[in-house]
Amino acid sequence: MMIATWNVNSLKIRLPQVIDWLKENPVDFLCLQELKQDNEFFDLAAFEEIGYTACWSGQKTYNGVAIISRTKGKDVVRNNPLFEDAQQRLIASTYDSEQGPIRVINVYCPNGSAVDSDKYVYKLAWYKELTNFLKSEMSTYQHVILTGDFNIAPEDRDVHEGYKGDILISPPERKALQELIDLGLHDAFRLFEQEEKSFSWWDYRMMGFRRNAGLRIDHILISDSLKQICEACWIDKEPRRLERPSDHTPVVADIKWDLIT
C-alpha cells in the first residue's frame, strides 16, 4: 500500500499536475491540502477517469482537504468534532483491508503566521484538540495514518540553515507535535536513512528551491501496527521542478499492507 500527501496550493491550478503525478505514481491514497475551492468545484470525474474516487471538504479561497483513493471510504468525518472551526482543515475516512479497517486522517494544520499572533494562538488550540481527537480515533481504530501539512518542522535538521523565522519551529509548536506523536505515532520519514537537508516545502521567493532553502513540514505519521511493516518513505521533488509548481512537494510512504479493492 502506498500513501502520499501533497499540499497543492490550489487544486484548480494544480489539477493537471496531480492527475499526471497519479498516473506516474499510482498510490492507493493521495491526501491533498489547500484545495482553495468550494465543494461544488471539486472535479471528481477527473479522478474517476484514472481509476480513483475521493472524499473532500472544500472551502473558497483558503484551506480545503481531500483524500483521493482507489476505493470508497466510510465513516467520513469533516473537521474535528471537538473543535468548532469554520476553516476546512481535516478529513478522515476508513478503508477496508485484509488486516481490518484502516483510518486515514488528512490535515492541513494552521500556519500560525507569527509567534504570539492571534493565528499562532489558534494554531496551538487547533493542535491541542487535534491531539484529543486522535486520542479518541486511536481508541477506536488500531491502524491509523495521520498525514498532511503540519506546518511544523520537528527538528533542527528539518530546517535550512538560513531560516530566520520562529514560526514553524518554536518550542510550543514542536511540543504540540510531540504530544501528538506521543499518543503512539511514528514519523515514517525518520524510520529510514535519509539525505541530509531533506525538505518538503521551499519558499517561492529568493530562489528557495534552487538554493534548497526549505523546511520539512509535511509528514506521514503511522500507528505502531504500521511501523514495522513500513518499507520506505521518501520525498518526491520532481513536481517542484515543474512549470508553475506548488511550493510543497509530495511525501510518499510504502507500507506492506493489503487493501481490499
* Pick 76 or 242: Cβ nearer DNA: 242
156 is catalytic: no
Cα separation of 141 and 104, whole Å?
Answer: 10
Shortest reach from residue 111's CB to DNA, in Å: 3
Backbone angles phi, psi at 121, to 5 degrees: -60, -45
Shortest reach from residue 247's CB to DNA, in Å: 6
Name the residues that contact DNA, by CB under 7 A: 7, 9-10, 12-13, 34, 36-37, 60-62, 110-111, 113-114, 119, 149, 151, 162-165, 167-168, 201, 203-206, 215, 217, 244, 247-248
258 is catalytic: no
The continuous run of DSSP H or E covering 128 comes out as helix 118-140
Nearest-10 crossing angle of helices 118-140, 171-181 = 10
Cα separation of 170 and 78, whole Å?
Answer: 28
Shortest reach from residue 76's CB to DNA, in Å: 23
* Pick 102 or 180: Cβ nearer DNA: 180
The residue from 149, 158, 218, 247 that is catalytic is 149
* Pick 100 or 165: Cβ nearer DNA: 165
Question: Helical H runs in 43-107?
Answer: 44-48
Neighbours of 254 (CB within 10 A): 17
Catalytically annotated residues: 108, 149
